[in-house]
Copies of this chain bind each other. A is one copy, B any other.
Amino acid sequence: MNVTPPYLMFLGDVPDALAAKTAQGVVDWRRDWCLAQLRLPGCGADLGLDEMTVPEAVAAGAKTLVVGVVNAGGVLPEHWIDTIVTALEAGLDVASGLHVRLGSIARIAAAAEANGRKLTDLRQPDRSYATGKGHKRTGKRLLAVGTDCSVGKKYAALCLERDMQAAGFDAEFRATGQTGVLIAGRGVPLDAVVADFIAGAAEWLTPDAADDHWDVVEGQGSLFHPSFAGVTLGLLHGSQPDAFVVCHEPTRTTMRGVATPLPTIAAVIEATIAMGRLTNPDIRCVGLCVNTAKLDEEAARALLAELAEEHGLPATDPVRFGSAPVVDEIARIYGRP
């Protein structure tokens, strides 16, 4: 799945910033790719980008209109269709994170066909995958795993990509979810792949590479989440990480969306190594990435020090304090570039 930047970010008339979370994630990490935003009257979200019409964005070099919002029910509101059709007629591709498929809407399908433009549904794989093979590939891989869903795995991986690159590593973020795909310009919506092909899709995403190349892989779910652990295990086996970080949100007590208690960090490390060994016998934990957004700075620093001591691993909040301690640990183990 490929999405071509630069993007014109279409926000429709969603009521608030939360509904534009996907678009905001792209702006946070690929500001240079986000040429402008296009909003309809009444829109309550604002990405802080220039406002442009479709013709203005095309003239400025935009390649893809990105529908990076969620709407009640996942449907595409009738009054957004004109903008999408206009974009297709003006020569833009369109990528959407809505549940509804762009191609299922007749006017959009017809406009894409007539103008030879590409429609990308970010929630649906646009190709098939082989089943996983399990043999060791060249190159190095780092996977973000978590004590739960939505604890900051994607942001941890993006911080690590940024900080590893700054330290001279050949590191590249590999996206496994829809926001990640927009940020990377390519990837796999792993949770939407057919069950038999989870590991195979993860293998496809992280192919053979140079010995000193690092794929920094966006994690999904948690081995301890009763809804999604199958996706997590398939990703672990398919991405065969050399190194992993454990992402954690310290104020959470039950797993997202269910009543299951949160596992300990130690349990996640142990299970990830026990299961990950199947496709990479040398798998090891290289750090803890803790989302301390709900703690003040003093409490955050104290917690990180305590966790580092307890687990004998670097612990940081990569968004708040950077991921340098983890990058240093990677350099210590695997060599500095």
A-side residues, CB < 8 A to B, are 131-135, 190-196, 198-200, 223-235, 237-238, 255, 257-260, 271, 274-275, 278-279
Q: A195-B191, A195-B231, A229-B237 are in contact. Are A223 and B275 (CB under 8 A)?
A: yes
B134 touches A196 (CB 8 A): no
CB proximity of A262 to chain B, nearest CB, Å = 12
A133 touches B258 (CB 8 A): yes
A198 touches B195 (CB 8 A): yes
How far is it, in angstroms, between the C-alpha of A132 and the C-alpha of B258 when the chains are bound? Answer: 9
Pick the contact of A199 from B194, B227, B275 — CB < 8 Å? B227
A224 touches B278 (CB 8 A): yes
How far is it, in angstroms, between the C-alpha of A274 and the C-alpha of B279 when the chains are bound? Answer: 19
Total copies of this chain within the assembly: 2
Pick the contact of A230 from B134, B224, B227, B230 — CB < 8 Å? B230
CB proximity of A79 to chain B, nearest CB, Å = 28
A134 touches B227 (CB 8 A): yes
With a cutoff of 8 Å between Cβ atoms, the chain B residues found around residue A134 in the complex are 225-227, 255, 258-260
With a cutoff of 8 Å between Cβ atoms, the chain B residues found around residue A235 in the complex are 230
CB proximity of A316 to chain B, nearest CB, Å = 28
With a cutoff of 8 Å between Cβ atoms, the chain B residues found around residue A279 in the complex are 226, 260
With a cutoff of 8 Å between Cβ atoms, the chain B residues found around residue A271 in the complex are 274-275
Show 28 A/B contacts (Cβ-Cβ < 8 Å), sorted by A. A131-B257, A132-B226, A132-B227, A133-B227, A133-B258, A134-B225, A134-B227, A134-B255, A135-B259, A190-B195, A192-B194, A193-B194, A195-B198, A198-B230, A199-B228, A199-B229, A199-B230, A200-B227, A223-B233, A229-B237, A229-B278, A230-B233, A230-B235, A230-B237, A231-B234, A260-B279, A271-B275, A275-B275
Which B residue sits closest to A228, measured CB to CB?
A: B196
A199-B228, A224-B278 are known contacts; what are 20 more A-B pairs with Cβ within 8 Å? Answer: A134-B226, A134-B259, A191-B196, A192-B194, A192-B196, A193-B195, A194-B195, A195-B195, A195-B198, A195-B231, A199-B227, A223-B233, A226-B237, A229-B237, A230-B231, A230-B233, A230-B234, A230-B237, A271-B275, A275-B275
CB proximity of A275 to chain B, nearest CB, Å = 7
With a cutoff of 8 Å between Cβ atoms, the chain B residues found around residue A228 in the complex are 131-132, 196, 199
Which B residue sits closest to A191, measured CB to CB?
A: B196
With a cutoff of 8 Å between Cβ atoms, the chain B residues found around residue A230 in the complex are 195, 198-199, 230-235, 237
How far is it, in angstroms, between the C-alpha of A227 and the C-alpha of B238 when the chains are bound? Answer: 8
How far is it, in angstroms, between the C-alpha of A82 and the C-alpha of B323 when the chains are bound? Answer: 65
CB proximity of A193 to chain B, nearest CB, Å = 5
CB proximity of A133 to chain B, nearest CB, Å = 6
With a cutoff of 8 Å between Cβ atoms, the chain B residues found around residue A133 in the complex are 226-227, 258
With a cutoff of 8 Å between Cβ atoms, the chain B residues found around residue A198 in the complex are 195, 230-231
With a cutoff of 8 Å between Cβ atoms, the chain B residues found around residue A196 in the complex are 191-192, 227-228, 231
